[in-house]
Structure 1
Amino acid sequence: MLRTTKVLMLVTDVGFVVYFGVTGLGLIPPEWAFAGYADPVMADWNWSFLAIDLLAGATGLASLLLLRRGSASGSQLMLVSLVLTMASGLMAIAFWTLRGDFSLAWWLPNLYLMIFPLPAIVRLAGPRPVPG
C-alpha cells in the first residue's frame, strides 16, 4: 500500500508546485478556472493555500528522499505531509460546499487530495509493535 502512496505523493507534491507556478504565471485558461477566479477576494482565497500546499509538497518530497535512504524519520515526515495534503483538500471542499458550487473540475482534484492519503495515514498513525 505504501508503494502506491509514494507514487501518488510524488505526483501530488510536484503537482502542488506546478499548480502555483502555472497560477502565478496566469496560464490557467478562463474556461478552466473556478467560479469567481477573477474576483480579487477569490484570488486571495486561492493563494491562501500556497503555504499549506507547498509545505505538504516539501515534507512529502523530503519524506520520499528519506525513505529512499532508509531513514526511519521518513515515515514520520510522510505522515505530516499526508495530513497536510488531506487538510488542504478538505478546506477546499468545505469552501465550495458553503458556496454551493459543485464544479467537478475543482471538486475531483480536491476530493483526491482529501481521500488518497487516508489509508496511509491510518497505517502510519496506527499502533506500532512494542520492542521487546
Structure 2
Amino acid sequence: MRVGKPLLLAVDAGLLLYWTAVFLDLIPKEQRFRDYSNPIMQAWNWSFFPLDVSAALLGFLGVYLVRKGRAAGELVVTVGLTLTFCAGFMALSFWSYYGDFNLWWWLPNAALVLAPVVGFLEMSIGKVCGRKA
C-alpha cells in the first residue's frame, strides 16, 4: 500500500485533529456547518466521535502491525478502512438529505469515503499480484 498507507495515516490524523478542534472550540464560526449551535445537530455530530476515533486508532494500529509483519495487521487495517468509509458515507448521506452542500464539510467527508476505496483497491491489487500490504 504505497499510496494507501500514507493516505490512511493522513486521514486518520485529520480525524483526530478535527475532534481536537471541536473539543477546543477552534472551528471558526464562518466554517461551521449549518445549525452548528442547534443541540440536536451537536448530538448528531458527537455521535460520530466513537466511530471516528475508533477508525483512526485502528488505522494507526493496523499500519503499525503491517509494518511489523503481524498477521492481524491487514485485518485491523481493513476494519479501520471500513469504519472510515462508513463515517464519511454517513455524513455525506446526512448532508445530502439535509440539503446542505457546504464544501468545507463535503470535501473532508468525501476524503473519508475515497481514502478507504484507494486503500482497498491497493490491497486487492496487491493480493492479485502476490504482494503484501
The number of residue pairs the alignment matches comes to: 128
Q: Which residue of 2 aligns with 1:3?
A: 2
TM-score scaled by length of structure 2: 0.89
How far apart, in 1, do the equivalents of 2:18 and 2:110 lie?
16
Note the residue ranges of structure 2 that are not aligned, 5 or more in a row: 129-133
- Verify: 1:19 aligned to 2:18, yes or no: yes
Q: Which has the higher contact order (CA 8 A, sep 6+)?
A: 2
* CA RMSD after TM alignment: 1.8
Note the residue ranges of structure 1 that are not aligned, 5 or more in a row: none
**1:107-132 Cα deviation digits (max 9, x unpaired):** 11111111121132245468x68xxx
Amino acid at match of 1:22: A
**SS in structure 1 at match of 2:101:** coil
How far apart, in 1, do the equivalents of 2:19 and 2:118 lie?
27
Matches within 5 A, 1:67-78: 67-78=66-77
TM-score scaled by length of structure 1: 0.89
- After TM superposition, give the deviation of residue 70 of structure 1 in Å: 1.3
User: How high is the sequence identity, in percent, across the aligned residues?
Assistant: 39
**SS in structure 2 at match of 1:117:** helix
- After TM superposition, give the deviation of residue 5 of structure 1 in Å: 0.8
Q: Is this contact kept in 1: 2:58–2:80, CA < 8 A?
A: yes
- After TM superposition, give the deviation of residue 64 of structure 1 in Å: 1.1
* Over 6 Å off, 4+ runs: none
